[in-house]
A and B are shown apart, each in its own frame.
Chain A
Amino acid sequence: MKKLLIGTSMAAMAAIAAFAVTAASAEDIKLGVILGYTGPIESLTPDMAAGAELAIKEVSMSGALLGGSKVMPVRGDTTCTDSAAATAATERLVTSDKIKAIVGGDCSGVTTAMLQNVALANGIVMISPSATSPALSSIEDNGLFFRTAPSDARQGQVLTAILKEKGVKSAALTYTNNDYGKGLANSIKMNFEKAGGKITISAAHEDGKADYTAEVGALAAAGGDVLIVAGYLDQGGKGIIQAALDTGAFETFVLPDGMIGDSLPMAIGADLNGSYGTVPGTDSPGAAKFGDMAKAAGFKAGPFASESYDAAALIMLAMQAAGSSESKMFKSKIIGVANAPGTKIYPGELAKALKIIAGGGEVDYVGASAVELIGPGESAGNYREILVSGGKNTTAKFR
Chain B
Amino acid sequence: MDGALNSFLLLSNFVLVPGMAYGSQLAIGALGVTLVYGILRFSNFAHGDTMAFGTMAVILVTWLLQAWGVSISPLPTALLALPFGILATIVLLLLTDRWVYRFFRREKAAPVVFLIASVGVMFVMNGVVRFIIGPNDQRFADGERFIIKAREFKRLTGMNEGVAFKTSQGLTIVTAVIVVAALFWFLNRTRAGKSMRAYSDNEDLALLSGINPERVVMITWILAAALATIAGTLYGLDKSFKPFTYFQLLLPIFASAIVGGLGNPLGAIAGGFIIAFSEVTVTYAYKKFLAYNLPPDWAPDSLMQLLSTDYKFAVSFVILVLVLLIRPTGIFRGKAI
Contacts and interface: CB of A to CB of B under 8 A. Distances in A.
12 contacts: A210-B235, A210-B240, A210-B242, A213-B18, A214-B280, A217-B14, A218-B284, A218-B303, A247-B13, A248-B149, A248-B162, A249-B150
Contact of A206 (B154, B162, B166, B310): B310
Given A204-B310, A220-B288, A213 B14 contact: yes
A241 to B, nearest CB: 13
A221 interface: yes
A177 interface: yes
B194 interface: no
A246 B285 contact: no
B105 interface: no
B49 interface: no
B14 A222 contact: no
Interface string B1-35: 00000000000011100100010000000000000
8 smallest CB-CB distances across A and B, nearest first, come from A248-B150, A221-B285, A210-B239, A217-B14, A218-B285, A210-B245, A213-B18, A211-B239
B131 to A, nearest CB: 14
A222 B164 contact: no
Interface string B240-270: 1010110000000000000000000000000
Interface in A208-234: 208-211, 213-218, 220-223, 234
Place the interface of chain B in its size category: 35 or more
A286 interface: no
A223 B151 contact: no
A203 B164 contact: no
Interface string A183-223: 00000000000000000010111101111011111101111
A215 B309 contact: yes
Contacts of A206: 310
B182 to A, nearest CB: 26
Given A203-B309, A211-B239, A214-B279, A220 B164 contact: no
Nearest to A208: B244
Nearest to B146: A246
A209 B245 contact: yes
Interface of A: 38, 42, 177, 201, 203-206, 208-211, 213-218, 220-223, 234, 239, 246-249, 267
Contacts of B286: 221
Contacts of A223: 288
B253 to A, nearest CB: 13
B308 interface: yes
Contacts of B308: 203-204, 218
Nearest to B280: A214
A214 B312 contact: yes
A347 B185 CA distance: 72
Contacts of A201: 303
Contacts of B143: none
A218 B284 CA distance: 6
B309 A218 contact: yes
A234 B303 contact: no
A134 to B, nearest CB: 23
A214 B287 CA distance: 14
B139 interface: yes
Contact of B283 (A42, A214, A246): A214
A239 B283 CA distance: 18
A239 B240 contact: yes
Given A215-B309, A239-B240, A267-B139, A248 B13 contact: yes
Contact of A222 (B239, B287, B312): B287
B137 interface: yes
Contacts of B285: 217-218, 221-222
A209 B240 CA distance: 9
A217 B235 CA distance: 19
A246 B169 CA distance: 12
Given A203-B308, A217-B14, A217-B285, A211 B244 contact: no
Nearest to A269: B145
Given A221-B287, A247-B13, A234 B137 contact: yes
A220 to B, nearest CB: 7
